[in-house]
Amino acid sequence: RLILGIESSCDDSCASIVSSRREVLSSVVTKQDHSSTNGIHPLHAALNHNANLPKTIVEAFNQAGLHYADVDAVAVTRGPGMASSLGVGLTCAKTFSSLFAKPLIYVHHMQAHALTPLLTEKTGPSFPFLTLLVSGGHTMLVLAKGINEFSILATTGDDSIGDAFDKVARDLEIPWTSAPGSALEATARGYQESMGSNHPIPKSTFPVPMKGRPAFSYSGLKSSVSRHIESKGGPGNLSASQRSKIAFDFQSTAISQLEDKVTMALKIDRQEAKPFFKPPPAGTEGERLQVWRDRQEFRQKLGDASKIKSLVCSGGVASNSFLRSRLRKCLDEMGRQDVVLMFPPPSLCTDNAAMIAFTGHLLWDQRTFDHDRHARPKWSLQDL
């Protein structure tokens, strides 16, 4: 069986054809250029989808060497995302479905991200597994309990981790690249190498926000780094080694926050995990009670942590090699050598339509000829 996938939730126009044997026959991504508007403007993005998506779909068929009638269904992202961008993908999918009398499968974008390891890993993770999604748009720890059953254990209340990498790279005046985070990692490596590989990780200049709480936050860290750079007289005043140390400290602190949530989720020894589940010492009575409730809820959603045997880390930031080694170390140090750490290839972690087509296969039973469904720009993963 073959499914055409269409994805247009943000700014990439994507089309792909995937077989029921998990073969990605084609996966085409047409990027947009937003340098003139300094960020993604919804109208600009939708206009570009209008121009790019039809030819992206044609290209997916050409690359796969298939005719339009060869596919058995079309799977399309219904949400969440920008309404105007989603609309373009939905219109293309509905038109295709009407013209060729192929059923439609409406897909949740984040569900597709979360199910990607079932496509990419030879022996995919079995449920329940944990997914840590770290990208330019998301910072999330999700428990996947089944194809249609997810719990968001923690998400960011402000900026994403990728955003923070980009901002700090800019503040340090690291020459701008298409992945500023990776340029920042290269800068931090200078400091890391000067310490030697066996040196314990030094204490960071910056505090780790949200410690022991089921939430992420990156805006405070971003500002701390900004202020620290200003206090040194601005980026122009920094020596190469100072710049490298700041990059390293930031990176290390940003990753500590990920380790903190992973530890909260996977530490089985309740005695050792106890500090995470005690009311915090600081704050008003009301604040402390709230934190306590949040932690209880986290634990309840999680269920039996010993049953979780895989941690999947995906998104643009997951290509950071320091993050990769730290997460493995973190699992080993808490005695969870039984947990397999998986990193799907970057091309299938960032936005793509192969994950949409693949999810379409998993949701085959939900195929429909109902063309009246609209985009769902706001759509929780817990509301499938």
**Chain residues in the site for Fe ion (CB under 5 A):** 351
* CA angle (26, 56, 148) in 5-degree steps: 65
Residue 209 touches which member of ligand ATP, Fe ion, none, C-beta under 5-8 Å by kind? none
Closest contact distance (angstroms) between CB of 313 and ligand ATP is 12
Strand spans (E) along 198-288? none
Binding site partner of 51, from ligand ATP, Fe ion, none, Cβ cut-off 5-8 A by kind: none
- For ligand ATP, give the closer residue by CB, 137 or 190: 137
The CB-of-316 to ligand ATP minimum distance in angstroms stands at: 2
- Using CA atoms, how far residue 31 sits from 15, 314, 345, 350, in Å, is 12, 20, 18, 12
Q: Select 64 or 188, whichever has its Cβ closest to ligand ATP.
A: 188
* Closest CB to ligand ATP among residues 130, 349: 349
* Phi, psi values for residue 2, rounded to 5°: -125, 140
Three-class SS of residue 133?
Answer: strand
Q: Phi and psi of 139, rounded to 5°?
A: -145, 105
Q: Nearest residue by C-beta to ligand ATP? A: 316
CB of 110 to ligand ATP, least distance (A): 9
What does 117 interact with, of Fe ion, ligand ATP, none (CB < 5 to 8 A by kind)? none
Nearer to Fe ion, 266 or 317 (CB): 317
Q: How far is the CB of 186 from ligand ATP (least distance, A)?
A: 8
Chain residue whose CB lies nearest Fe ion:
351
**Going by C-beta distance under 8 Å and a sequence separation of 6 or more, which residues neighbour residue 138?**
110, 155, 156, 160, 315
Cα–Cα distance, 140 to 146 (Å, whole number):
18
Give the one entry of ligand ATP, Fe ion, none that residue 182 binds, where binding means its C-beta sits below a cut-off of 5 to 8 angstroms depending on kind.
ligand ATP
Least distance (Å) between residue 379 CB and ligand ATP: 14
Q: Which residues bind ligand ATP (CB under 6 A)?
A: 10, 135-138, 162, 165-166, 179-182, 185, 315-317, 319-320, 349-351
Residues in the chain: 384
* Residue 251 CB, nearest approach to ligand ATP (Å): 7
Strand partners, 247: none
Give kind and range of the element (H or E) at residue 165: helix 161-171
Instruction: Please name the helix (run of DSSP H) or strand (run of DSSP E) that holds residue 38, with its range, or none.
Output: none
Q: Give yes or no for a contact between 129 and 311, defined as CB atoms under 8 angstroms apart.
A: yes
Choose from Fe ion, ligand ATP, none: what does 165 bind? Cβ within 5-8 Å by kind: ligand ATP
Using the minimum distance from each CB to Fe ion, give the nearer residue, 11 or 351: 351
Q: Which residues contact 245 (CB under 8 A, 6 or more apart)?
A: 191
The nearer residue to ligand ATP, 139 or 263, going by C-beta atoms, is 139
As measured in angstroms, the least distance from the Cβ of 283 to ligand ATP is: 32
Backbone angles phi, psi at 207, to 5 degrees: -70, 155
Which lies closer to ligand ATP via its Cβ, residue 97 or residue 217? Answer: 217
